[in-house]
Amino acid sequence: MNNSIYVQPYNIRNISYTPCSLPVGGRNYTLVDQNKVDCFVSQKEASLPYLADILSHSNNEAQITETLYIIDRMADAGVKGIDKMYPVLSRFNNTTSPNIQTFLAGIYRKTQVPDAFGPLVKMLIQNSLHPQSSNFDPNEEIGGAILSYLSDRFRGSIKSPNVTNS
């Protein structure tokens, strides 16, 4: 990571956090350090360049998954500008990692970036043709994201029949 370009968020420095732990065995969820997540989320848009830098350079699945989780929580908190991160997020559109696919689909569902629809469909088809072994099914989140795109596009375009009381 190149800290000369992006300054690390101020209260992340010199604090030790528990590393992310991916799903394993009977545990079908990722463990993250909630204090770290809360720290990034609380700094809102100021955290986005640092997170984008991590995603641009990391090849570590746990680090990528944790960063996507943080961005997903930021989307839940209404942080602005996440949709502008699509060029960085799209780096993972061809991943076969169920962990990365799940959080990526969740972010795409929340941001509704038009360019992300095709990659979501591609992920779903590839997973159907070549299923990955995992403790959970990423296709649930991917399918939900696709349905969200479709339902948002057609909401309001279908007119309800007029119902009158006689």
pLDDT digits (tens, 9 = 90+) for 93-147: 999 999 999 999 999 999 999 999 999 999 999 999 998 888 888 999 999 999 9
Domain that holds residue 123: 34-154
Number of domains in the chain: 1
In a domain, residue 28? The reply is no
Residue type, 104: L
Report the distance separating Cα 66 and Cα 33, nearest Å.
Answer: 9
Report the distance separating Cα 90 and Cα 108, nearest Å.
Answer: 10
Looking at the chain, the whole-number percentage of residues with pLDDT higher than 90 is 64
Question: Does the structure show a pLDDT above 60 at 5?
Answer: no
In a domain, residue 111? The reply is yes
In a domain, residue 165? The reply is no
Least confident of 14-18, 86-90, 121-125, 159-163: 159-163
* 95, 101 contact by CB (below 8 A): yes
- Between the CA of residue 13 and those of 25, 52, 99, 147, what are the distances in Å? 33, 17, 27, 40
In a domain, residue 42? The reply is yes
Region of residue 30 (left: phi > 0; alpha: psi -120 to 50; beta: else): beta
Question: What pLDDT does 79 receive?
Answer: 96
Q: Count how many Cα atoms sit within 13 Å of the Cα of residue 130 in the half-sphere of its side chain.
A: 8
Residue type, 61: E
Pairwise pLDDT comparison (74 vs 162), residue with the higher score:
74
Question: What pLDDT does 166 receive?
Answer: 47
In a domain, residue 146? The reply is yes
pLDDT, mean over the chain: 85
Q: What's the residue count for the chain?
A: 166
Report the distance separating Cα 94 and Cα 80, nearest Å.
Answer: 26
Question: What pLDDT does 133 receive?
Answer: 82
User: Measured between alpha carbons, how far apart are the two ends of the chain, in Å?
Assistant: 70
pLDDT tens digits, one per residue of 27-52: 888 899 899 999 999 999 999 999 99
In a domain, residue 80? The reply is yes
* Confidence grade of residue 60 (pLDDT, cut at 50, 70, 90): very high
Report the distance separating Cα 159 and Cα 166, nearest Å.
Answer: 21
Report the distance separating Cα 41 and Cα 111, nearest Å.
Answer: 16
In a domain, residue 64? The reply is yes
Report the distance separating Cα 6 and Cα 57, nearest Å.
Answer: 13
Residue type, 159: K
Question: Does the structure show a pLDDT above 90 at 61?
Answer: yes
In a domain, residue 7? The reply is no
Question: What pLDDT does 165 receive?
Answer: 52
DSSP assignment letter at 82: G
